Structure 1
Amino acid sequence: MSILPIVITGEPVLHRIAAPVTEFNDELRVLVADMFETMDAAPGVGLAAPQVGRDLRLFVYGWTDEQGVEHRGVAANPTLWIASLPIADLDDDEDAEGCLSAPGLRFPTRRSQRAVLQAQDQHGTAYEVRAEGWLARIFQHEYDHLDGVLYVDRLEDPHAYAAHKIIKKRKWGKPGLAWTPGVDDIDA
């Protein structure tokens, strides 16, 4: 296994719809293992294949809830259903998200509190997960990556303005930028 470089906003693979996974083979299983190692090293709670420069509808997730239950898995070719979005004001802490492809930024993002994920694991076996709260948020965030959407694209003002100003100041938004967890000194 190895830690992979994570591409930063502006890399074309992050901003387009990813291709379906068609082969569930050893190469895919190695990629999944590398993605888990990269996610854990970052540290993060999810990582999509486009974030490591791969044009695939694939993400991994790993998060331990307040009861100590570990939610960890692989989602290839996922479908995601969500409940309606809340209309209440966003809480700067409770609704805050970050993204490994926009490292160091955290802003409140409107997400549904419930989601149903249907996907395949790294062996091609189909499964379904019903999620609430933070796990539902993780699924929505990672699923967005597969459709070429970053969480900063979903921000509402004044947070959208602030995020885009920071992206411009850091000279992101162009191809060829990446960072590697454990190698680069970056605050993800």
Structure 2
Amino acid sequence: MIYPITAYGDPVLKEHAQDIPKDFPELKELVDDMFATMYHAHGVGLAAPQISKSIRLFVIDSEPMMDDEDEGKGVKKAFINPEILEEDGEEWGFEEGCLSIPGVREVVYRPERIVIRYFDEDWNEHTDTYDGMTARVIQHEYDHIEGILFTDYLSGLKKRLLKTKLTKISKGYVDADYKMKFPALSKKR
């Protein structure tokens, strides 16, 4: 199933998501659907709040973000109830975008390395270290389950300059080649 992507302005994107219980119904199917939705929208990560589910789950496939020298080193996996234990290394900037905020890209600075504890879809616990682009993708998606958007990292001036564009996105005035759910349109119905 391909879910519509929840657009900027929906309150679910600003909520601290809830842990997933081990008896969560059809978790593997949801993970598969999230991968399908992410690929359909040409994304490299997708968090559950982006499909209007306020639960601590995200999926990533960082392979498309790898440059020639790192080809084949991407990571494809689901992260359930993750917790970033450590962030270190030099902060580096990269122009990020978000499926919930189409057409907006801005430079965000993030630490180069993370240690994260999480469960996979079979409820096996992992503690892994990631760096570079994969760490960045994970940090971006992790922010979603914490109720943080990449635009929250921008300066006050940048936020003011983007305000009109963000308002238009929340009202459905945006070009996206995937189905979206807009908070302002939902209220009118």
Shorter-chain TM-score bucket reads 0.7 to 0.9
**Could you say what the CA RMSD is over the residues aligned between the two structures, in angstroms?**
2.5
| Secondary structure at 2:111 match in 1 | coil
| Secondary structure at 1:153 match in 2 | helix
1:83 maps to what in 2?
88
Aligned equivalents of 2:81 and 2:173: distance in 1?
Answer: 26
Task: Figure out how many residues of one structure are paired with residues of the other and give that number.
Answer: 174
2:96 maps to what in 1?
97
More helix as a share of residues? 2
| CA contact 2:102–2:176 (8 Å) conserved in 1 | no
- Runs of 4 or more consecutive aligned structure 1 residues displaced over 3 Å after TM superposition: 176-184
Q: 1:118: Cα distance to partner?
A: 1.1
- TM-score norm. by structure 2 comes to 0.82
Aligned equivalents of 2:59 and 2:78: distance in 1?
Answer: 4
Q: In the TM superposition, what are the counterparts of 1:107-146 in structure 2 within 5 Å? A: 107-146=106-145
Q: 1:156: Cα distance to partner?
A: 2.5
- TM-score norm. by structure 1 comes to 0.82
Q: In the TM superposition, what are the counterparts of 1:1-188 in structure 2 within 5 Å? A: 2-24=1-23, 27-64=26-63, 65=66, 66-80=70-84, 81-83=86-88, 86=91, 90=93, 95-168=94-167, 170=168, 172=170, 182-183=178-179
Structure 1 runs not aligned, ≥5 long:
none
Task: State the percentage of identical aligned residues.
Answer: 34
Structure 2 runs not aligned, ≥5 long:
181-189
Partner deviation per Cα, 1:35-85 (whole Å, 9 max, x = no partner) = 000111111111000100111100000021332223100101101121166
